[in-house]
């Protein structure tokens, strides 16, 4: 049984979450907490496998509670929020800086057309996060990244004529993307395209949160806009994002791929077609295999590719699948990625 602690200040929402989670035979809700202080006490007493955490609470909010739990009894924490105002969502993502592993929208109410799907997403996320035995926000200092064989690494740097960078991420991706973007220099010369799997309603706030620590402009991608050097574009909710030879971003309502819209596979395939060997592409932490085969397609076409290493990944699904396919030129720790990208960018011909 997966032992879950539900932290939520609203009695109605708290009971709602308990009912959804308790209906699954593999989950046992071992307790609830009305605020962050009660959550700290409950974690110490009950040692749950997973915590669902509200952010806006009296006495001690979810952000500070997350930070203290990760300092004392590290436990997988799933932020469950009913707020989608971009400014408040940006605050929610600060909990991921503190160590939370996922952010989900509060499931729709009983009778709502999306209730079953959103409830199922919560249950599936809790199940998956229960398997994250050690939650790491920062990899251990002093470890060296695994690299491709020296000849391949040298080829990637010498032959690169990089014009664009594309990155895909899912579970655990937001803090890794923040780490990468925050470390890139202000004069970074390449556009960066990002697909981050995320519950609908959170992406605008996610973009604002990334922008707080990045010296590069971070945008929610818009249809038919030209890609500009040194700018970051994040795929919006419920749209597939691709690039065209004209240098424009195209957003479509094309069918989901791997059950996802936006899909990393969809973006990577267009990058391979338009840029070929003049692209850099990478997969970060996340469940599933979205983008893995297309990363292989990019590498086979001469592009430079990378995947996040296993130890620093919350879930090593997407990058792990890519590594199995020999799709990654580099296997990197998150803090090593900015230096590799900067090096490739400034070795353009």
What does the buried/exposed string (b/e) look like for 43-67 if buried means 16 or more CB atoms within 10 Å of the residue's CB? Answer: beeeebbbbbbbbebeeebbbbbbb
Compute the distance between CA of residue 34 and CA of residue 212 in angstroms, rounded to an integer: 30
Q: First CA to last CA across the chain, in angstroms?
A: 57
The one-character DSSP state at 145 is: P
Count the residues in the chain: 349
- The tokens describing 123, both together, are 């249950």
Name beta bridge partners: 249.
243
Phi, psi of 209 (to 5 degrees): -65, -45
Is the distance from CB of 203 to CB of 88 less than 8 angstroms?
no
Please name the helix (run of DSSP H) or strand (run of DSSP E) that holds residue 40, with its range, or none: helix 36-46
- Integer angstrom CA distances of residue 125 from 131, 187, 212, 266: 10, 38, 27, 24
In what helix (H) or strand (E) does residue 282 lie, and over which residues does it extend? strand 279-283
- Phi first, then psi: give them for residue 90, nearest 5 degrees: -60, -35
Q: How far is CA 40 from the centre of its chain?
A: 26
Give the alpha-carbon dihedral of 169, 172, 173, 176, to 10 degrees.
-140
Rounded Cα distance, 24 and 107, in Å:
15
User: Which of the residues are catalytic?
Assistant: 170, 197, 290
Question: 């990654």: which residue's tokens?
Answer: 328
């Amino acid at each position: 049984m997966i032992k879950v602690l539900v932290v939520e200040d609203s009695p109605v929402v708290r009971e709602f979450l308990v009912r959804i989670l308790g209906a699954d035979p593999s989950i046992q809700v071992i307790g609830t907490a009305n605020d962050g202080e009660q959550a700290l006490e409950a974690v110490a007493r009950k040692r749950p496998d997973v915590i669902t955490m509200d952010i806006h609470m009296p006495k001690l909010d979810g952000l500070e509670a997350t930070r203290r739990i990760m300092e004392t009894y590290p436990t997988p924490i799933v932020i469950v929020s009913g707020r989608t105002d971009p400014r408040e969502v940006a605050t929610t993502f600060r909990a991921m800086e503190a160590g939370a592993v996922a952010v989900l929208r509060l499931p729709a109410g009983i009778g709502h057309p999306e209730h079953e799907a959103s409830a199922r997403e919560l249950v599936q996320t809790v199940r998956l996060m229960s398997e994250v035995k050690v939650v790491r926000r920062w990899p251990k200092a002093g470890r060296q990244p695994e690299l491709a064989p020296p000849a391949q690494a040298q080829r990637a740097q010498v032959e690169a004529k990089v014009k664009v960078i594309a990155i895909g991420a899912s579970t655990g991706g937001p803090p890794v993307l923040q780490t990468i973007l925050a470390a890139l220099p202000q004069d970074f010369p390449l556009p960066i395209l990002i697909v981050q799997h995320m519950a609908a309603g959170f992406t605008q706030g996610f973009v604002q949160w990334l922008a707080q620590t990045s010296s590069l402009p971070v945008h929610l991608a818009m249809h038919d806009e030209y890609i500009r050097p040194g700018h970051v574009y994040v795929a919006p909710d419920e749209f597939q994002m691709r690039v065209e030879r004209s240098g424009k971003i195209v957003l479509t309502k094309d069918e989901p791929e791997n059950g996802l819209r936006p899909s990393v596979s969809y973006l990577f395939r267009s990058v391979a077609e338009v840029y070929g060997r003049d692209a850099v592409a990478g997969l970060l932490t996340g469940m599933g295999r979205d983008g893995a085969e297309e990363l292989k397609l990019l590498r086979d076409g001469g592009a430079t590719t990378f995947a996040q290493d296993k130890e620093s990944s919350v879930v090593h699904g997407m990058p792990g699948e890519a590594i199995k396919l020999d799709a990654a030129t580099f296997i990197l720790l998150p803090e090593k990625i900015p230096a590799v990208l900067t090096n490739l960018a400034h070795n353009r011909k």
